C-alpha cells in the first residue's frame, strides 16, 4: 500500500490516494487493509481515493458506503470531493476484462455450488445457513463452504451470527451465467417436432408434469412478453420417455426442440405453472437463455431488466 497526495487545498491534501492496486479490487480485502481504508474514510478534511485496474460492483458499493472515491482502468469512476466542489461519476465494465482463463478464486460451478446460488437468488434474505441448505438440497457443510467463498468475493453479506443478511443477486446471477450454462450442466439432445411447436406446447399440457420443466423462451413468457418461439428448451428426468410422449424425433439438422437431462435437480426446484405448463424459475430461465441459440441472449438481458424492476414478484419469501 502506498500513499500519494494528488490534489491540495491550502496546506492539506483534499484528494488523497491511499491505495493503488495493480490487480482487481474486490471486497475480500485483508483485515489490515480494510482497517486502513476505514480509518482513511473518517478523515473529513480529505477524500480517500482508490485506484485499481478493475473494481467490481460489490467493491464499488462498499467503497461508496465508506465515503471513498475510486477509479479503475475500465472507466468505473466515482470521485466526490465536496471541499473541492468536485463530483465525477461514470460506469465502466461489469466484468474484469483481464481475468485470466480458468476458474476464478470463487468458482461458481459444481453441483452444490450451483444449487446454493439458485437458492440465494430465488429466495429473499435474511435467512439462516441451515434454512438455505434445506432450500437448496445440499448438506449444511457444503452450504457453509460455498457461502464462505461467495462472501469472500462480495456476493453475499453475513452478520455476526453467520446469517445471510444481504445477497447481491444481480451480480451473482450475471457471474453464475458467465461460468455456467445450459449445455455444460446437462446432457442435451436435439429433436424435431414434426407437427410444429404450437402442437408441442399443447401436448406438454397433457402429460405428467413431473417429467419435465420448460425453460428458455417458453418460461420467459411467464415473466415478461417474450419473442416468437423457435426452439423449445425442455429439462427432463427421462429424455426417452418425454420424446416418446411428445412424438418428437432425434435429429442432427433442423432441430426445434432441445431436451436437457440436468446433472442435478436444480432446474426442477421452485418451478411454477404457467398456462398449463411447468416452467423453471426466472433465474434459471435467465441462465439458460444466456447460452441458448439465436436471440436467446438478448431475451435474457430483457428478462433481467424485468427481474430488477419486479424482484418482489419472483423472489420468494423464505
102-116, 124-138, 232-246: least confident range: 102-116
Mean pLDDT of 10-16: 51
Pairing of strands 47-55, 12-25: parallel
- Categorize the per-residue pLDDT at 171 as very low, low, confident or very high, splitting at 50, 70 and 90: very high
Domains of the chain, start order: 4-90 (no CATH), 111-179 (1.10.10.10), 186-307 (3.30.460.40)
Length of the chain: 318
Residue 30 has pLDDT above 50, yes or no: no
Residue 34 has pLDDT above 80, yes or no: no
pTM (two decimals): 0.68
What pLDDT is recorded for position 224? 83
Mean pLDDT of 120-126: 95
What pLDDT is recorded for position 116? 97
Mean pLDDT of 68-72: 89
Q: Which of 80, 59, 58, 61 is nearest to 69 (CA)?
A: 80
Residue 141 has pLDDT above 60, yes or no: yes
Question: Cα(176)–Cα(117) distance, rounded to whole angstroms?
Answer: 8
Residue reference for cell 415473466: 223
Residues 6+ apart with CB under 8 A from 14: 7, 8, 45, 46, 47, 81, 83, 84
Q: What is the pLDDT of residues 276-289, one digit of tens each?
A: 999 999 999 999 99
Q: Which of 27, 21, 24 is nearest to 153 (CA)?
A: 27
Amino acid at each position: 500500500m502506498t500513499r500519494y497526495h494528488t490534489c491540495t487545498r491550502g496546506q492539506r491534501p483534499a484528494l488523497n490516494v491511499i491505495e493503488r492496486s495493480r490487480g482487481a479490487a474486490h471486497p475480500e480485502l485483508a483485515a489490515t487493509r480494510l482497517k486502513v481504508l476505514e480509518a482513511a474514510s473518517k478523515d473529513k478534511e480529505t477524500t480517500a481515493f482508490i485506484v485499481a485496474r478493475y473494481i467490481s460492483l460489490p467493491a464499488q458499493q462498499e467503497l461508496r458506503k465508506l465515503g471513498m472515491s475510486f477509479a479503475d482502468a475500465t472507466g468505473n469512476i466515482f470521485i466526490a470531493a465536496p471541499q473541492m466542489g468536485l463530483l465525477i461519476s461514470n460506469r465502466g465494465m461489469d466484468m474484469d476484462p483481464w481475468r485470466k482463463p480458468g476458474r476464478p478464486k470463487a468458482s461458481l460451478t459444481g453441483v452444490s455450488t450451483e444449487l446454493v446460488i439458485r437458492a440465494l437468488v430465488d429466495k429473499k434474505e435474511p435467512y439462516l445457513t441451515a434454512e438455505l441448505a434445506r432450500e437448496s438440497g445440499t448438506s449444511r457443510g457444503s452450504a457453509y463452504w460455498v457461502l464462505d467463498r461467495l462472501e469472500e468475493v462480495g456476493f453475499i453479506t453475513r452478520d455476526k451470527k453467520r446469517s445471510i443478511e444481504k445477497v447481491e443477486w444481480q451480480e451473482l446471477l450475471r457471474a453464475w451465467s458467465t461460468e455456467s450454462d445450459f449445455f455444460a450442466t446437462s446432457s442435451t439432445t436435439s429433436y424435431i417436432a414434426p407437427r410444429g411447436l404450437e402442437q408441442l406446447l399443447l401436448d406438454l399440457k397433457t402429460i405428467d408434469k413431473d417429467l419435465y420443466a420448460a425453460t428458455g423462451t417458453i418460461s420467459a413468457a411467464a415473466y415478461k412478453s417474450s419473442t416468437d418461439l423457435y426452439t423449445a428448451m425442455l429439462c427432463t428426468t427421462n429424455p426417452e420417455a418425454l420424446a416418446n410422449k411428445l412424438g418428437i424425433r432425434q435429429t442432427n439438422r433442423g432441430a426445434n426442440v432441445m431436451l436437457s437431462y440436468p446433472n442435478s435437480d436444480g432446474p426442477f426446484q421452485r418451478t411454477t405453472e404457467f398456462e398449463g405448463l411447468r416452467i423453471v424459475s426466472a433465474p434459471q430461465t435467465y441462465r439458460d437463455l444466456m447460452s441458448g441459440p439465436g436471440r436467446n441472449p438478448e431475451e435474457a438481458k430483457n428478462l433481467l431488466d424485468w427481474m430488477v424492476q419486479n424482484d418482489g414478484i419472483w423472489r420468494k419469501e423464505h
